[in-house]
């Protein structure tokens, strides 16, 4: 099962298997505290630990002796001389290939020449030449491929496409009539991938035109649900951050008020009776946006505007540029190869 996950900027990334999530967590790229995951066929975001559970044991670190042994084996395998049996097999195989190439040369000079070259390479025990030869032989085989076979392959591909369109229409019909499937991103994506193969000259074109708007309605509904779900999580994180910051200031003997504004609570006001240029300079490190700076942390959890005030005649604000939380669903669809709105062309 594959999952999407949120990066440091709260943008959806993926889909990736659970094993890759574990590797990213081990490398420190994601963590249980700040990473949310979305199962590929669901619409509800969950914390990372709901997928990975307890932390995995750290990987074994190779010691110096292990590394030296590993490289020694590689050198031994690379430079070891060919065994007598291998030389005999290559010698006999080389002559057989030469004979086959000679017989083929009469019918197809190009292909026969390449087969002869392969036989010579075997006789000379030159592996690199053999690799190049085999690649050239495959190219020549394509160039000399019979026309009827090409036409047959084209007909087979066309038949497969028509089957895909018919299957896609059946799947799309199920999606738009089943509320559960209409809320499942993977079911929508799979149906659209097949329906989108239809052509104007196909008998199924009119049916595809009729079902596409309904399929798009399902896609748009899921996109909005995904965005709302993650935005709700981000609003909760901003509320928690403001509460913890206010408590920390009180513990340090500072009566600082952290107020949230805006429909998404992405506007923060920091009010303190002694607030001034010196205090703002120290708190923001002169407006620094380095990863460990307070403004960078505010931006990561979605704050768009941060104001500092003494509640009377001092006001300073910073405009931040976080990820667009209302567009998270679109990013998930693009990760699945679906670009809305769904329109037949």
Q: What digits encode the pLDDT tens for the residues 180-217?
A: 999 999 999 999 999 999 999 999 999 999 999 999 99
pLDDT band of 327, cuts 50, 70, 90:
confident
Closest to 300 in 3D by CA, of 281, 325, 330: 325
Task: Please check the confidence at residue 92 and state whether its pLDDT lies above 50.
Answer: yes
pLDDT at 126 over 60: no
- Cβ of 12: how many Cβ atoms within 10 Å? 26
Residues ≥6 apart with Cβ < 8 Å to 191: 168, 171, 172, 174, 175, 215
Q: What whole-number distance in Å separates Cα of residue 319 and Cα of residue 295? A: 10
Identify the pLDDT of residue 279.
92
**CATH node for 2-52:** 3.30.1490
pLDDT given for residue 22 in this prediction: 83
Say what percent of the chain tops pLDDT 90: 45
Q: Is the peptide bond before 15 cis (omega within 30 degrees of 0)?
A: yes
Condensed to tens digits (0 to 9), the pLDDT of residues 309-324 reads 999 999 999 999 998 8
Q: What predicted TM-score, i.e. pTM, was given to this entire model?
A: 0.55
pLDDT digits (tens, 9 = 90+) for 295-314: 999 999 999 999 999 999 99
Between these two residues, 195 and 27, which has the higher pLDDT value?
195
pLDDT at 325: 85
Say how far apart CA 47 and CA 24 lie, in whole Å. Answer: 15
Q: Name the nearest CA neighbour of 304 among 272, 260, 250, 340.
A: 260
Share of the chain above pLDDT 70, in %: 71
Report pLDDT for 204. 94
- Supply the mean pLDDT for the chain: 78
**Section 113-130 average pLDDT:** 52
pLDDT at 256 over 70: yes
- For the chain, give every residue range classified as CATH 3.30.1490: 2-52
Instruction: For 30-80, write each residue's pLDDT tens digit.
Output: 777 778 888 877 778 888 778 777 654 444 444 444 444 444 444 444 434
More confident residue, 17 or 175: 175
Beta strands in the chain (DSSP E): 2-6, 12-17, 36-39, 45-47, 257-261, 267-271, 305-309, 315-319
Report the pLDDT value the prediction gives residue 23, as an integer from 0 to 100. Answer: 84
């Amino acid at each position: 099962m594959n999952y999407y996950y949120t990066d440091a900027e709260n943008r959806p990334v993926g889909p990736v298997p659970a094993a890759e999530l574990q590797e990213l967590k081990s490398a420190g790229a994601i963590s249980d505290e700040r990473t949310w995951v979305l199962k590929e066929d669901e619409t509800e975001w969950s914390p990372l630990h709901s997928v990975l559970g307890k932390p995995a044991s750290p990987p074994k670190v190779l010691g110096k002796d292990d590394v030296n042994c590993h490289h020694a084996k590689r050198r031994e395998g690379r430079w070891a001389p060919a065994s007598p049996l291998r030389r005999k097999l290559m010698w006999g195989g080389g002559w057989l290939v030469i004979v086959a190439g000679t017989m083929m040369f009469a019918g197809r000079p190009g292909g026969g020449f390449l087969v002869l070259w392969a036989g010579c390479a075997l006789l000379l025990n030159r592996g690199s030449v053999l690799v190049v030869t085999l690649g050239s032989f495959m190219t020549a085989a394509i160039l000399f491929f019979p026309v009827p076979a090409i036409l047959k392959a084209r007909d087979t591909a066309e038949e497969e496409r028509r089957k895909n369109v018919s299957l896609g229409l059946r799947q799309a019909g199920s999606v738009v009539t089943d509320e559960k499937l209409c809320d499942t991103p993977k079911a929508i994506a799979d149906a659209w991938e097949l329906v989108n193969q239809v052509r104007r000259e196909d008998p199924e074109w009119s049916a595809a035109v009729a079902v596409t708007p309904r399929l798009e309605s399902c896609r748009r509904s899921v996109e909005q649900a995904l965005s709302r779900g993650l935005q709700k999580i981000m609003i909760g994180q901003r509320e928690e951050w403001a509460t913890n910051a206010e408590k920390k200031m009180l513990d340090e003997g500072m009566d600082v008020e952290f107020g949230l504004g805006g429909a998404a609570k992405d506007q923060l006001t920091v009010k303190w009776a002694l607030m001034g240029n010196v205090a703002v300079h120290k708190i923001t490190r002169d407006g620094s946006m380095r990863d460990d700076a307070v403004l960078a942390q505010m931006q990561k959890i979605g704050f768009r505007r941060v104001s500092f005030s003494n509640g009377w005649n001092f006001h300073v604000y910073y405009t931040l540029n976080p990820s667009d939380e209302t567009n998270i669903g679109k990013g998930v669809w693009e990760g699945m190869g679906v670009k809305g709105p769904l329109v037949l062309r």
